[in-house]
Amino acid sequence: MTRSGWPAHRSRAAGRRRRRARVGPAAAVLAAAVLGTGVLAPNALASAPPQPGPGAGLRQAPVVTSVVPDERLNAAWRAFGDSGGGWSNHRGWAASDGTYSATLPGGRVAWLLNDTFLGPVNADESLPRDAGFVHNTIVTAGRDGLPRTTLTGGTHDAPRSLVGETPTAPPWDPSGTNDGWYWNGDGIMDGGRLRLFEYAQVPTDDPPPWNFTWVRTDIASFSPDLGGAKVTHSYDEGNVSWGVELTRVGGYIYIYGAESGHMHVARARAGHLVDRSWEFYTGSGWSHDPTASARVTDNVGASYSVTEVNGFYVLTTSDAYLGHDIYVATAPTPVGPFTNRTDVYTAPEGGGNIYAPYNIAAHPELSRPGELVISYNVNSQKIDDLYANVNNNRARFLDLRFAP
């Protein structure tokens, strides 16, 4: 959830709209300056589009035949939060949004979570009003993906956000580089480190609940044991939030971005995700210029997933703004074209004050052949709903089953 109780994906979108109005001219000046400093102009790296996935030319695109709740994961997270998030003082994870996942060495799973309520959870699954709250956490799991313990900054008695600051009350200094907070994006192992995308937010003078905005994208690099992270700046030209999805394809990591409901795609050579040497898809080839990045697909959520299934690339997403449905589309390459968009599931929680689904994330490391595990987040426009029932701020997991 956001600090005011609104879904993070709507708040990010609103923040980006405000930021374009404020810094659009400056962004244009920056683009011109970049082109004059040795960075290659658009299409300087133009090449043939990515080749189709393995077997795509020999098979039909996968079609969703059924969608069912993943009761194992849903029950495991509910029990984990109700019992204290793996901490002996019961003040670990209780609820959150985000819900990205990354595979660690040895097949372990790291769950990458955003605004997080901390326990203890009451017996009726309400939260005490003095429950702890931080802006980003990691929950570790075994190869089965079942949550084991909560990682935060600080201590179990005085937890803080795992990365960045943990503001709880004004005033803030929007011009400060160490003020505000981070929300996690997706993460992936690269160069022996867990690279986790971080979206820096700062407060604004806008009226609540939109009184904050995204200002930059960074990458936090963790050691294999998830020790203290080193934060480096990444790309944020063109108001694209890069890192909402990371997919390894051959010798590249494909980096997906969101910009006002549009998909963008970049790629980095494996081992070089933190270097400013990405290539950005222009619609016909690749360029080192981030402002040359093309809108690949419309009407995607601020977080969506692209996953290889049966030699094709499967997009799972919500609508760009609000809505209660989850959609699937398929493509022969990781940059599209994504076609046959189909409405496959309506979140039963949505309606009234409750908002669902948002932040769609896929979890291929937990998926069996011919299936795909995805998650979506649930939230409320009234923060009282979250204190009254902590399940109103817990992810839901689904199993998508495909044919052929």
pLDDT value of residue 172: 43
pLDDT value of residue 177: 46
Q: Is 35 helix (H, G, I), strand (E, B) or coil?
A: helix
Give CA–CA dist 88/190, Å, rounded: 33
What is the edge-to-edge ordering of all strands in the sheet holding 354-362? 63-69, 396-403, 371-380, 354-362
Tell me which residue of 355, 351, 334, 256 sits closest to 302, measured CA to CA.
256
What percent helix, strand, coil does the chain show, rounded to 5? 15, 40, 45
28-71 per-position pLDDT tens digit = 222 222 222 222 333 334 444 565 565 555 578 999 999 999 99
Q: What is the mean pLDDT of each run of 10 residues along the chain (404 residues)?
A: 39 40 26 26 42 61 97 98 98 97 96 96 97 96 97 96 78 51 96 96 76 90 91 93 97 97 98 97 97 97 96 97 94 97 97 93 96 96 94 98 88
Tell me which residue of 136, 143, 195, 194 sits closest to 163, measured CA to CA.
136
The structure's pTM equals: 0.86
Tell me which residue of 270, 254, 220 sits closest to 336, measured CA to CA.
254
Give CA–CA dist 1/8, Å, rounded: 6
Angle, CA of 42, 44 and 48, to the nearest 5°:
100
pLDDT value of residue 15: 42
Q: Within a 10 A sphere around the Cβ of 160, how many other Cβ atoms?
A: 16
Give CA–CA dist 135/150, Å, rounded: 13
Domains delineated in the chain: 8-403 (2.115.10.20)
Please provide the DSSP assignment of 103-126 as one string: EPGGG-EEEEE-SEEESPPPTTS-
Residue with tokens 């016909």: 284
